[in-house]
């Protein structure tokens, strides 16, 4: 695909395309790399590949990108189906830069529009957007630039496109292409339907010679046909990318088995890059002092609350909110029980380990506030429930499980204390398995006495009675369960047992969740946060230091909340000193000044 000689297909006039850098540049960095590099540095007219390299910094096109770009450069229409993240934007950005005139991008998503324009300005592309967030003067300025051929790309909301003012302005301009982003919005059956999209076929008559490019990540055939029909693209060349996603999140492994240099390299990346997920054993993390870890997930049960406390304590060192999340199950309980039992430690040491594991399990199974319980363990009293843990946010239901527990204990006893959980559940449910018949257990009084509970409910019950120590797991006997002295009063009916009920599976949205870090922001603030973070990352890359060395998250959060506009105001924020102000101030102020908040416009 990339071997196509795209220079040959490049039409000539853009070599003279006016690229004077005029007053529009609201971002200082926008002037750093001027788009004309691509034109001036070589005697040939710029090719798609040279623009890709010089403006966007990428070496080669992905998938169908080169073919799509060439189709547009030849003046033909195209329908592009590509998954999110596939690289749709370059398919119209590059032809817009190479064809004479301004490229018009119709997009319904204001936040995305702003992001793209911001990124383009960073790359030195003369881009702007027209949407309802702009004030009148900003609109006048953009119109001026359009009339004077000072824009390469204009992003516009569909309703704006059809305003009389915009439409008549466009009619007088030289237009490179129309890109119709989120083209599935034309489908009346889809949930993103936008009535204005139906009017877009008016472009055919009004601009018969301007190539049109419809893009979407919605791939089903019906939507595709609707787009083709409603947007008058029956003759357009269609490009369908694979929707398989080979890429995922940026994740790195770390365990004691790796060579020291690999471990060091992964650790360095974890410190220096944003958004890295470290998948690690406890070999990782001693002395990891990264202030902005926002999430710690435990996929294995820690051996003690001390370990749990220390490991979760790596999150949120900067004092901003962070989440700790843990899953555990029966296997973890059995495994850790066995570790303790099999350890070669002295009896008294084993007793201590056993006690610690009990406390950890009790913490897992508690229905009370977890923070209260955790602090209690460290002999600290917390005055009230925290309101921020899962127990507080969605209190667990409990049930009187005395009878069911009696049935389980008696089943263990009658089968000879030689069987594991799965077998016992089969007996309780009265399953006619070969093994059960072989052992004659279908004749037991406990056979089929537990049909009122589901297999999942029984598993949950067994996990809890093991965690509470009513039953022990024999490590030498394939996990067979045995009764302990603690279960006697239950069997005799002298004590009742209250257990945590299985949570019903609820829809995600109805579950109260602790507030994630980004959840504290509204949409505008979230976008601003991401932009500021991107600036920080690029400064960090230039200096080869971790991002938090430039500014901590706390400082970035202050920027989002206080929106400083001058060096003086920036200096007032915590974490900003004279030196940092001098080195980094302008880069951040550029973002802060260049961002319009619809709420702040009168
Ligand atoms: P989409 O609009 O399809 O969701 P984008 O156009 O936003 O995707 O591209 C996703 C990411 O991939 C962007 O960060 C973009 O810069 C990057 N990208 C696109 N094309 C290439 C390429 N040829 N080489 C490397 N990165 C690319
Ligand atoms: Zn709580």
Q: What is the pLDDT of residues 31-80, one digit of tens each?
A: 333 444 444 444 567 899 999 888 888 888 999 999 999 999 999 999 99
Tokens 């817009």 sit on residue: 96
Alpha carbon 445 to its chain centroid, in Å, reads: 53
What DSSP character marks residue 515? Answer: P
How far is 138 from 380, CA to CA, in rounded Å?
58
Both tokens of 346, joined, read 């002295």
Atom of ligand 1 at shortest range from CA of 88: 3
pLDDT of residue 513: 58
Distance, CA of 580 to CA of 585 (rounded, Å)? 7
Q: Quick check: CB of 455 below 6 Å from ligand 1?
A: no
The protein residue with its alpha carbon nearest to ligand 1, atom 9, reads 87
Q: Cα separation of 33 and 57, whole Å?
A: 11
Q: Can you give the pLDDT at residue 596? A: 61
Give dist(CA 82, CA 283) in Å, integer: 41
460 lines ligand 1 (CB under 6 A): no
pTM of this structure: 0.50
Q: Which ligand is nearest to the CA of 371?
A: 2
Counting ligands in written order, the one closest to the CA of 49 is 1
List the structure tokens of 144: 């001026």
User: Strand 480-483 vs strand 471-474: parallel, antiparallel, or unpaired?
Assistant: antiparallel
Ligand 1 centre and the CA of 426: distance in Å? 53
Report the SS3 class of residue 324.
Answer: strand
Distance CA(588)–CA(602), nearest Å, equals 24
Q: Whose CA is nearest to atom 27 of ligand 1?
A: 87
Mean pLDDT of the chain: 83
pLDDT for the residue 526? 85
Q: 367 C-alpha vs ligand 2 centroid, how far in Å?
A: 10
pLDDT at res. 510: 44
Report the pLDDT value the prediction gives residue 286, as an integer from 0 to 100. Answer: 57
- pLDDT under 50 in the chain at which residues? 1-42, 505-510, 598-602
232 lines ligand 1 (CB under 6 A): no
Pick the atom of ligand 1 nearest to 52's CA.
23
- pLDDT, one tens digit per residue, over 492-541 is 989 999 998 876 544 444 455 566 777 778 878 888 898 899 899 889 88
Determine if ligand 1 sits within 6 Å of the CB of residue 105: no
Regarding the beta carbon of 65 and ligand 1, being less than 6 Å apart is answered yes
Taking residue 205's Cβ as centre, other Cβ atoms within 10 Å add up to 8
370 CA distance to ligand 2 middle (Å)? 5
């Amino acid at each position: 695909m990339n071997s196509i000689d795209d220079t040959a297909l490049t039409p000539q006039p853009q070599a003279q395309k006016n690229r004077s850098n005029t007053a529009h540049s609201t971002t200082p960095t926008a002037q750093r790399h001027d788009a004309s590099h691509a034109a001036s540095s070589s005697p040939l007219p710029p090719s798609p590949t040279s623009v890709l390299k010089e403006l966007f910094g990428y070496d080669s096109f992905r998938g169908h990108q080169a073919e799509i770009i060439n189709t547009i450069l030849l003046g033909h229409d195209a329908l592009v189906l590509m998954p999110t993240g596939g690289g749709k934007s370059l398919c119209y950005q590059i032809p817009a830069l190479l064809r004479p005139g301004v490229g018009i991008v119709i997009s319904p998503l204001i936040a995305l529009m702003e992001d793209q324009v911001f990124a383009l300005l960073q790359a030195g592309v003369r881009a702007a957007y027209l949407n309802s967030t702009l004030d009148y003067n900003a609109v006048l300025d953009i119109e001026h630039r359009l009339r004077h051929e000072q824009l390469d790309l204009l992003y516009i909301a569909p309703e704006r496109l059809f305003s009389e003012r915009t439409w008549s302005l466009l009619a007088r301009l030289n237009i490179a292409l129309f890109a119709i982003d989120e083209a599935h919005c034309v489908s009346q059956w889809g949930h993103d339907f936008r009535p204005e999209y139906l009017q877009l076929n008016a472009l055919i008559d009004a601009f018969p010679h301007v190539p049109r490019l419809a893009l979407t990540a919605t791939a089903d055939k019906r939507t595709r046909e609707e787009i083709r029909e409603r947007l008058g693209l029956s003759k357009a060349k269609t490009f369908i990318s694979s929707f398989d996603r080979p890429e995922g999140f940026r994740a790195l492994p770390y365990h004691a088995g790796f060579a020291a240099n690999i471990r060091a390299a992964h650790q360095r990346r974890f410190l220096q890059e944003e958004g890295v997920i470290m998948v690690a054993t406890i070999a990782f993390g001693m002395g990891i002092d990264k202030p902005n870890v926002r999430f710690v997930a435990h996929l294995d049960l820690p051996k003690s609350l001390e370990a749990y406390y220390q490991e979760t304590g790596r999150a949120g060192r900067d004092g901003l909110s962070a989440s700790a999340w843990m899953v555990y199950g029966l296997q973890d309980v059995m495994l850790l029980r066995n570790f303790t039992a099999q350890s070669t430690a002295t009896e008294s040491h084993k007793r201590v380990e056993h006690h610690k594991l009990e406390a950890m399990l009790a913490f897992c199974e508690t229905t009370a506030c977890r923070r209260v319980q955790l602090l209690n363990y460290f002999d600290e009293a917390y005055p009230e429930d925290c309101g921020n843990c899962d127990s507080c946010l969605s209190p667990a239901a409990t049930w009187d499980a005395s009878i069911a527990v009696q049935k389980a204990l008696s089943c263990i006893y009658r089968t000879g204390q030689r069987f594991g959980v799965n077998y016992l559940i089969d007996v309780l449910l009265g399953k006619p398995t070969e093994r059960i018949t072989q052992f004659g257990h279908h004749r037991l009084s406990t056979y089929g006495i537990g049909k009122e509970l589901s297999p999942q409910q029984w598993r949950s019950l067994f996990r809890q009675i093991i965690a509470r120590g009513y039953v022990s797991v024999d490590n030498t006997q394939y996990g067979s369960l045995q009764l302990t002295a603690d279960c006697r009063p239950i069997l005799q009916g002298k004590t009742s047992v209250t257990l945590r009920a299985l949570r019903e599976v609820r829809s995600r949205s109805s579950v109260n969740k602790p507030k994630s870090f980004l959840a504290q922001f509204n949409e505008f603030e979230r976008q601003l946060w991401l932009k500021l973070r991107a600036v920080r990352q690029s400064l960090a890359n230039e200096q080869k230091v971790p991002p938090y060395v430039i500014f901590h998250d706390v400082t970035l959060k202050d920027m989002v909340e206080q929106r400083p506009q001058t060096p003086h105001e920036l200096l007032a924020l915590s974490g900003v000193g004279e030196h940092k102000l001098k080195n980094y101030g302008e880069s951040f102020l550029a973002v802060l000044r260049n961002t319009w908040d619809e709420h702040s416009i009168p």
